[in-house]
């Protein structure tokens, strides 16, 4: 697949949204969505996807071009590893709803939360 550069990349720091436009389609990608789908080895766990939790309030501190093929995103939680290639960003945009729904389902299955100030505790009540 050809790594086609976008026609526009714009970060809205206040709303924590990255707008990225390609020739025929544009996407609005929230910082939290990008953070939990980071392409870094840390987030991907080298062999498997690691469930990233508690990132509801995360923002984007900085964008940096990485050659002609993508950007490095520095998040305000300090995470800055991994390159978001143009293809990967287009894929995230194209599949945003399905990826987000899958992420929310995994959080629920793992009894985890998007909220960094919450630690869910679930238990099954004992029968009398």
pLDDT digits (tens, 9 = 90+) for 11-50: 999 999 999 999 999 999 999 999 999 998 555 545 567 8
Question: Which pLDDT score, from 0 to 100, does residue 2 have?
Answer: 62
**Phi, psi at residue 70, to the nearest 5°?**
175, -165
* Tokens 């389609």, located at residue: 25
Torsion sign over Cα 68, 72, 73, 76: negative
Question: Which pLDDT score, from 0 to 100, does residue 47 have?
Answer: 56
Q: Which domains does the chain have, with CATH numbers?
A: 8-109 (3.30.2020.30)
Residues 6+ apart with CB under 8 A from 114: 32, 53, 54, 55, 56, 107
pTM: 0.86
pLDDT digits (tens, 9 = 90+) for 71-86: 999 999 999 988 999 9
């Amino acid at each position: 697949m050809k790594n086609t550069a976008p026609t526009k990349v714009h970060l809205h720091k206040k709303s924590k949204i990255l707008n990225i436009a390609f020739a025929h389609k544009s996407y609005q990608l929230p910082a939290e969505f990008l953070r939990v789908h980071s392409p870094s080895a840390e987030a991907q766990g080298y062999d498997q996807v690691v469930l990233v939790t508690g990132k509801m309030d995360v923002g984007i501190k900085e964008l940096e071009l990485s050659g002609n093929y993508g950007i490095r995103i520095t998040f305000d939680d300090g995470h800055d590893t991994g390159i978001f290639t143009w293809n990967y960003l287009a894929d995230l945009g194209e599949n945003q709803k399905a990826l987000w729904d899958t992420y929310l389902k995994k959080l629920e299955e793992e009894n985890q939360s998007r909220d960094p100030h919450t630690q869910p505790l679930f238990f099954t009540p004992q029968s009398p």
